[in-house]
């Protein structure tokens, strides 16, 4: 059975990664892209994890007070209390029994858990992800072939214009304004389609004047329908 695709808010949410090696690093980098507050628990933590960003806190240095800290390093063996208040847990150690144990206690608490490379012990899996700004595209093969998922993602990425992410941000900034001016959902759909056509012609350029011209055009149609 295929996995159901769902996007969840992870910004400032506690995510726990058990393991400090290269496998854990890949998952940490993905979670970090989405603004998660990551706690890494492992007796040994590889140098590349330290290099992810400056806002990294080592638990041995005392209590955490800086709210901008995104990564907390806990250099010791995992204990059950580590997953308290977590939204999501990743088990990425080289100890299969420990990974399985972490999966079991997370499932018992109805916590989202991923055990790297062990599909049957996961309640969620990491898809191949393309992210640029607010644009996020994910590809999954249900864990059957991560390599194929990555290849499909690369194919998709190759046909997405660079300006799509900035266009999405621009339209998002003016979404409420457009909804106020154009009441009909059907007309708004036509407005957005026209915006996309204009941007395609202008290779990504869009201005507020262009938006207003299109809106004025459809406001006349809207008034005619009243």
pLDDT confidence of 170, banded at 50, 70, 90?
confident
Q: If you search the block for the tokens 């997405």, which residue do you land on?
A: 160
pTM for the whole structure: 0.84
pLDDT in tens, 29-76: 999 999 999 999 999 999 999 888 655 566 655 444 445 678 999 999
- Tell me which CATH code domain 14-126 carries: 3.40.50.720
pLDDT confidence of 200, banded at 50, 70, 90?
confident
Which of the 8 DSSP states describes residue 127? P
Q: Is-contact 118 99, C-beta < 8 A?
A: yes
Tell me the pLDDT of the chain averaged across its residues.
90
* Cβ-based neighbours of 78, under 8 Å, separated by 6 or more: 18, 41, 42, 93, 98, 102
For 8: left if phi > 0, alpha if psi spans -120 to 50, otherwise beta; the answer is beta
pLDDT in tens, 95-146: 999 999 999 999 999 999 999 999 999 999 999 999 999 999 999 999 889 9
Domain limits, the chain: 14-126, 127-160, 163-225
């Amino acid at each position: 059975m295929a996995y159901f695709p769902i996007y969840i808010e992870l910004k400032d949410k506690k995510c726990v990664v058990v393991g400090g090696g290269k496998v854990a690093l890949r998952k940490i980098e993905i979670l970090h892209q989405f603004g998660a507050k990551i706690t890494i628990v492992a007796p040994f933590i590889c140098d590349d994890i330290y290099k992810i960003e400056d806002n990294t806190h080592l638990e041995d240095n005392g209590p955490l007070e800086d709210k901008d800290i995104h990564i907390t390093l806990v250099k010791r063996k995992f204990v059950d209390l580590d997953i308290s208040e977590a939204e999501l847990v990743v088990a990425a150690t080289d100890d299969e029994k420990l990974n399985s144990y972490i999966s079991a206690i997370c499932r018992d608490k109805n916590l989202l858990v991923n055990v790297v490379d062990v599909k049957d012990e996961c309640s969620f899996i990491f898809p191949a992800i393309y992210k640029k700004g607010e644009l996020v595209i994910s590809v999954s093969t249900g864990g059957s072939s991560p390599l194929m998922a990555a290849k499909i993602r690369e194919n998709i990425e190759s046909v997405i214009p660079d300006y799509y992410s900035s266009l999405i941000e621009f339209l998002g900034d003016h979404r409420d304004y457009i909804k106020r001016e154009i009441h009909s959902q059907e007309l708004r759909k036509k407005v957005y389609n026209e915006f996309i056509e204009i941007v395609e012609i202008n290779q990504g350029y869009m201005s507020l004047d262009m938006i207003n011209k299109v809106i004025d055009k459809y406001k006349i149609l809207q008034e005619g329908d009243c």
